[in-house]
């Protein structure tokens, strides 16, 4: 399996490399002439500068930590509420329409509301990040629970399991793959919205550094932070997938059969 | 059918059992006025065409669905899954927990209910009985269909049930595997003295495995034929199936099935 995989990875590097080279060349030969559009080399230099000054580490650590806290809160709440709603048919009928409306509201539109309530504080960042992440987790947990096979529930009844046992041994594990997808979407969203509330005004983190660099006319640093935030998102997702694979061996089967 | 019988010898007493099911808001009568007994340690085969309500009957015996009439299990009115009764589902893919290994699947019905060492003993015994000792730590999706069904049977055996209800357990398996599992079932039954109710649409299978056979037919379904099977304790896929007794039983059941089918068609 390893050789073709590695081949794909090597091939995957070709497109971005060409793109970066073209970017550099088109500025060098004057094809693009924007005053504040840096070359890749300038971005790399800026990255080196902020890494050396410690700003990169401080800002990244802040954003990642806040996003993870927000995500953790959203995950616990989303899964808990999702389980309750998914398990109770009357509750599900009663609140699902409201949940669908609420989660369809663009979260960014709610950021100003958060600013009025919390000001530019750490609380704002966490609340906004958690609010964003809770919806996919909640909705996927409900879906997962509702999708539990009737055969499996019959097994539970046949083996005379208590309600709690059925939840713990049958319903929760069988809906876990769907819940995981929700958690993964939530992780991405909490990072994005954390950065958004930093851009809007919270004086910490990558978002704040990005907007400061813009205002100080440091396009190189701006692009460097964009690169960093992309990398952070990619890494968080990767770590999540890796952890998920370790904890649920049955999911590996799907990849193999695919 | 059987009238006065020693209480100890009767596991189920079914009298005037009817089941209605709701499908898309419409109430349909699935089973109408069935009366029969299930005797201790026998294997009762219930055979009937697909869609007659065999599974519904078994689910009623398992206590999984509400019914009208009377079902007595060990003398007491059945109002929910009874202890010592286990149903083996046809759909093994969904009846097994894909996130648990074979061993953990077999443990499902007894874990936390009996002491740990005793639990492990029973798991090992059940797994060995179905011949899966080399697959303890495999996941169900790594096994063939026949092996997965064996896991389900082992899970049932580990609970040491008095009654095993089989809902067309070999229906979705290929012929070779099915025959193997039929013989295995006979062997298991000689070790674990359990009462079995075995449902199938396959007449050969019903005759081969049963001590008694009942025919379920019509819509709503009712019992239309019953026969005792005297094929002896040890049965063999080749010689038993060539024996005169087997062939004549098979013939009778086929005939009755055709008759019942014709009757139900002419009323339609």
- Cβ–Cβ under 8 Å, residues B237 and B179: yes
Q: Where are the domains of chain B?
A: 41-51+81-267
Q: Is pLDDT above 60 for A110?
A: yes
Q: What is the pTM for the complete model shown?
A: 0.82
DSSP code per residue over A233-249: HHHHHHHHHHHHHHH-H
Q: Do B98 and A250 touch (CB under 8 A)?
A: yes
Q: Do A159 and B86 touch (CB under 8 A)?
A: yes
3-state helix, strand, coil in chain A (%, to 5): 85, 0, 15
Instruction: Looking at the structure, give the CATH architecture of the domain made up of residues B41-51+81-267.
Output: 3-Layer(aba) Sandwich (3.40)
Beta carbons of A158 and B62 less than 8 Å apart: yes
Interface contact flag, A174 B97, Cβ < 8 Å: yes
Separation of alpha carbons A163 and B34, rounded Å:
32
- CB-CB neighbors (< 8 A) of A167 in chain B: none
Token readout for B148 is 């997965």
Q: What is the pLDDT of residues B103-121, one digit of tens each?
A: 999 999 899 888 999 999 9
For residues A9-26, average pLDDT: 88
Q: How far off is chain A from B113, nearest CA to CA, in Å? A: 11
Q: Which of B147, B180, B150 is nearest to B88 (CA)?
A: B150
ipTM of predicted complex: 0.83
Q: How confident is the model at residue B5 (pLDDT cuts 50, 70, 90)?
A: low
Contact at 8 Å (CB) between A218 and A149? Answer: no
From the centroid of its chain, how far is CA A52? Answer: 28
CATH of domain A39-257: 1.10.3720.10
Which residues from B are below 8 Å from A149, CB to CB? 94
Q: Does A168 touch chain B (CB under 8 A)?
A: no
Q: Which residues lie across from B47 on neighbouring strands? A: B200, B215
CA–CA min distance A182, chain B (Å)? 19
| B96 Cβ neighbours under 8 A, 6+ residues apart | B105, B140, B148, B151, B152, B155
Mean of pLDDT values over B205-233: 85
Structure-model confidence comparison of residues B5 and A191, the more confident one: A191
DSSP annotation string for B105-126: HHHTTTTTTS-HHHHHHHHHHH
Distance from CA of B82 to the nearest CA of A (A): 8
Q: Do the Cβ atoms of A160 and B81 come within 8 Å? A: yes
Please give the pLDDT value at position B181. 87
Query: With contacts defined as CB-CB under 8 Å, which chain B residues touch A250?
Result: 98-99, 139, 141
- Cβ neighbours of residue A115 closer than 8 Å, sequence gap 6 or more: A124, A197, A200, A201
pLDDT at B156: 92
Nearest CA-CA partner of B60 in B5, B2, B16, B1:
B16
Asked if B87 lies within 8 A of A158 by C-beta distance, the reply is yes
- What is the C-alpha separation between B167 and B56, in angstroms, rounded? 10
Rg (CA), chain A: 23
Q: In this structure, what token pair is assigned to residue A250?
A: 């049955």
- A255 in B contact zone (CB under 8 Å): no
Mark yes or no for CB contact A155/B159 under 8 Å: no
| Exposure string over A216-237, b if 16+ CB within 10 A, otherwise e | eebbbbbbbbeebbeebbeebe
A256 touches B at CB < 8 Å: no
Strand duo B68-73 + B26-39: pairing: unpaired
């Amino acid at each position: 399996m390893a050789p073709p995989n590695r081949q794909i990875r090597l091939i995957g590097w070709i497109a971005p490399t060409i793109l970066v080279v073209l970017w550099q060349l088109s500025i060098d030969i004057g094809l693009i002439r924007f005053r504040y559009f840096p070359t890749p080399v300038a971005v790399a230099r800026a990255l080196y500068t902020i890494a050396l000054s410690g700003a990169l580490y401080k800002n990244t650590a802040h954003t990642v930590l806040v996003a993870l806290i927000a995500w953790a809160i959203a995950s616990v709440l989303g899964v808990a509420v999702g389980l309750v709603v998914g398990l109770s048919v009357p509750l599900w009928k009663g609140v699902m329409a409201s949940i669908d409306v609420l989660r369809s509201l663009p979260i960014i539109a709610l950021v100003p509301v958060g600013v009025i309530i919390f000001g530019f504080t750490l609380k704002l960042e966490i609340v906004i990040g958690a609010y964003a992440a809770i919806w996919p987790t909640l909705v996927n947990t409900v879906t997962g629970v509702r999708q539990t096979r009737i055969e499996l529930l019959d097994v539970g009844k046949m083996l005379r399991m208590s309600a709690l046992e059925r939840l713990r041994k049958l319903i929760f594990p069988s809906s876990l793959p769907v819940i995981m997808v929700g958690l993964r979407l939530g992780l991405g969203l909490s990072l994005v919205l954390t950065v958004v509330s930093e851009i809007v005004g919270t004086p910490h983190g990558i978002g704040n550094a990005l907007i400061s660099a813009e205002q100080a006319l440091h396009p190189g640093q701006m692009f460097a932070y964009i690169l960093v935030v992309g990398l952070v998102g990619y890494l968080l997702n990767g770590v999540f997938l890796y952890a998920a694979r370790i904890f649920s061996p049955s999911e590996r089967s799907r990849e193999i059969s695919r | 059918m059987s009238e006065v019988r020693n209480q100890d010898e009767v596991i189920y007493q079914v009298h005037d059992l009817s089941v209605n099911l709701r499908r898309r808001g419409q109430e349909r009568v699935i089973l109408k006025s069935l009366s029969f007994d299930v005797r201790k340690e026998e294997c009762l085969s219930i055979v009937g065409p697909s869609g007659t309500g065999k599974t519904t009957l078994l689910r009623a015996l398992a206590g999984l669905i509400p019914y009208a009439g009377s079902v007595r299990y060990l003398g007491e009115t059945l109002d929910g899954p009874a202890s010592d009764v286990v149903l083996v589902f046809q759909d093994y893919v969904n009846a097994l927990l894909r996130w648990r290994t074979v061993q953990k699947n077999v443990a499902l019905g007894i874990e936390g209910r009996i002491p740990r060492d005793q639990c492990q003993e029973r798991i090992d015994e059940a797994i060995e009985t179905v011949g899966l000792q080399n697959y303890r730590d495999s996941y169900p999706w790594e096994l063939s269909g026949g092996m997965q069904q064996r896991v389900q049977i082992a899970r049932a055996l580990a609970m040491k049930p008095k009654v095993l209800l089989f809902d067309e357990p070999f229906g979705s398996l290929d012929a070779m595997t099915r025959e193997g599992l039929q013989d295995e079932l006979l062997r298991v039954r000689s070790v674990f003295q359990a009462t079995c109710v075995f449902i199938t649409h396959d007449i050969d299978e019903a005759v081969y495995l049963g001590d008694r056979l009942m025919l379920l037919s019509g819509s709503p379904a009712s019992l239309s034929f019953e026969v005792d099977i005297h094929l002896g304790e040890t049965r063999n896929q080749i010689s038993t199936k060539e024996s005169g007794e087997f062939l004549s039983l098979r013939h009778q059941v086929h005939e009755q099935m055709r008759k019942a089918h014709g009757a139900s068609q002419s009323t339609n």
